[in-house]
Structure 1
Amino acid sequence: MTKNFMPSMAERAIGRELRRWRNDAGLSLSVVCQRARFSAATLSLTENALKPFDPLDIMLLGRIYELPNHVWKQMIRHAETVAGERTQSANGQHGLVELNAARDVDDAYLEAVAIRAFGADLLPRFLQTPEYRISATALGCPTYPADYPDRTAALQTRWTDSLTAADGHGPVVEILLSKRALRRVVGNPTITNAALLQLIRLSESGTFTVQLTDSEPLQENSYLHLSFPHRQHSDAVYVEGNGNARYIEDLTVCQLVNQSFRALQQAALSPAQSTEVIAETASTMTDRGN
């Protein structure tokens, strides 16, 4: 049953949370398996959302990790909601599963092997410096709250470090920015300048490219196209804008978005030209800041 089980992004988020429970408790996989009388394979499949969630397993794990009852009960309700969504989707119906996007999206791009991002009005959130993100939030620009600012900052540091690591094991990242997103002052010129300089620094990595375009395929929207390493994890497109944020996991839609992204890349400035324009724009921000 697990061989052909394709977990949704919501199910993957639950698996990540179960793994976080174990890490926060400071327990190894083998210790938890011994206490729960699970096989290592069962717990690994559960934490990676490669099998349907069993409410009794979640309850048992919550007790092993000594979590308050309301915490694991809430997780069970969430898992049951996600299971209901899977049933609806199988019957051709599509509901909405609540996502804690401020936490989940950060985790998702840390697990991706390839990220293609388009920024229409602002720099994509995972490229923003902490000061830029705070200023963008004050403007009401992000479509979901930064519920976990300290954790988000730590995740972003880990992610940017993975891009610039010498071993080259970070994800392949391809960025398209509209010129409007590049030139928009967020917070103040100094804050925007720092964010642009980070783009230039990241572009020095062999796995990161940024290109500028005048095109805007999704008006007033930004999106991420995420690809994952596991064969049972399908691609997903994460769209934010107009006051909402959601995953699109339909295979056809993901393929169309990827094709559109590739077409825009062909029409955009080259990475070298784009980096030059970003540097010039950053210098004008410095002048404004003075």
Structure 2
Amino acid sequence: MAANNNPTVTGRRLGTELRRLRKDSGLTGTQVAARLLISQAKVSHMETGRRPVSPRDVRDLCRLYGVADRNVVDRLTALAKESSRPNWWRAYGDIPHSVYLDLEAAASSIREFGPMVIPSLLQTPAYAASVIGETIPLLSVDQAAAQLKVRLRRQYRIYDPARRLHLQVVLDESALRRVVGSREIMREQLEHLHALSTEPHIIVQVLPHSAGAHPGLSGHFSVLEFPDSREAVVYVKRFTSGLCLDKPSDVQQYSATHAHLRARALTPEHSRHLITDAIKVCRS
């Protein structure tokens, strides 16, 4: 799924509101398109957040739907303006997984499974630089530096007391045993991970090799939840892009998978013991 075809969080919120107002008015998408002299595809894309909605679009739709409350119109207009505002990472150029960055920036909690490496939000600068430099072929020095700056800035969320991000991370033991960069870089990373795992808003559990085959073998995924919203979103990470899933059945399936992985993983305390063991191996 191409990044520029994915809904942003703000665009999704606005689209959900517009779809609700249309249904409350009794109009179909086809009828809205005919009355506003626009394509039905545009109506659909505005309601799914896949197309920018201008303040004028909001005013036209609200007028058609008979929305008399000025506060509602003003709130939706503000959402339209916000959804068109570029995010901070755009200043760093073409950054992979920009859709996920938008979701992460708006999320209040993330449940994540990492099968191969330590998750980005928990990486040290040296480990992150090694992951970026060693796993993405054809990356220029400038591009690698830009991606590293973005990755490290994203980590502010886990330290921000005003908007602290809650994490529930399940790691395959392979992420602890795979030496990335050097043994010294890996030792520093594992010590950092151990320290973060003691924070009350960060839960780290390790799925040991002894657990055998498990549902997480299909790859990395995250389940993101947002403040003031009952809707969660799943992001399945691929090499240069990812898949954003918001169907309730998909969210339920991945949520159940994460719960299953947590149940099979070591407890947070025993996971720290395994991390400590991996640190000792790096020191030897």
Matched to 1:175, the amino acid is V
Shift of 1:209: 0.7
Query: In the aligned structure 1, how far is the partner of 2:154 from the partner of 2:117?
Result: 20
> Bigger shift: 182-191 or 126-135?
126-135
Map residues 137-156 of structure 1 onto 2, 5 A cutoff: 137-140=132-135, 147-156=146-155
Question: What is the match of residue 205 of structure 2?
Answer: 211
Cα distance in 2, alignment partners of residues 222 and 119 from structure 1: 5
1:194 is the counterpart of 2:152:
no
The letter for the 2-side match of 1:110 is: A
Residues 234-265 of structure 1: CA deviation (Å, up to 9, x unaligned) = 31111123664221222211111101111121
Matched, 1:41 2:41: no
- Out of 256, 259, 262, the position equivalent to 2:256 is 259
Structure 1 contact 178–216 (Cα < 8 Å) conserved: no
Question: Aligned Cα RMSD in Å?
Answer: 3.6
CA distance in 1, matches of 2:81, 2:199: 31
Is 1:161 matched with 2:154?
A: no
Give the 3-state SS of the residue equivalent to 2:169 in structure 1: strand
Pairs within 5 Å for 1:30-69: 41-47=75-81, 49=83
In 2: Cα distance, 1:241 partner to 1:223 partner: 9
TM-score by length of 2: 0.62
> Aligned equivalents of 1:14 and 1:116: distance in 2?
29
The amino acid across from 2:103 in the alignment is A
* CA–CA separation in structure 2 for the residues paired with 1:140 and 1:203: 26
Gaps of 5+ in 2: 1-14, 21-44, 55-72
The equivalent of 1:177 in structure 2 is: 171
Change (3 A) 1:228 1:14: farther
Q: Is the 8 A contact 1:123 1:177 kept in 2?
A: yes
Q: Which blocks of at least 5 consecutive residues in structure 1 are unaligned?
A: 19-38, 50-57, 63-70, 72-98
Mapped pair 1:269 → 2:266? yes
2:17 alignment partner AA:
K
CA distance in 2, matches of 1:260, 1:41: 37
Counting aligned pairs with the same residue, the percent is 23
TM-score w.r.t. structure 1 length? 0.61
**100, 106, 130: which is aligned to 1:111?**
106
Match of 1:23 in 2: none
* Count of equivalent residues: 212
Question: Which residues of 2 match residues 81-120 of structure 1 at below 5 A?
Answer: 101-120=96-115
Q: CA deviation at 1:47?
A: 4.5
Which aligned runs of 4 or more in structure 1 are off by greater than 3 angstroms? 4-8, 10-15, 99-104, 144-149, 241-244
**Take 2:106 and 2:51, find their aligned partners in 1: how far apart are those partners?**
11
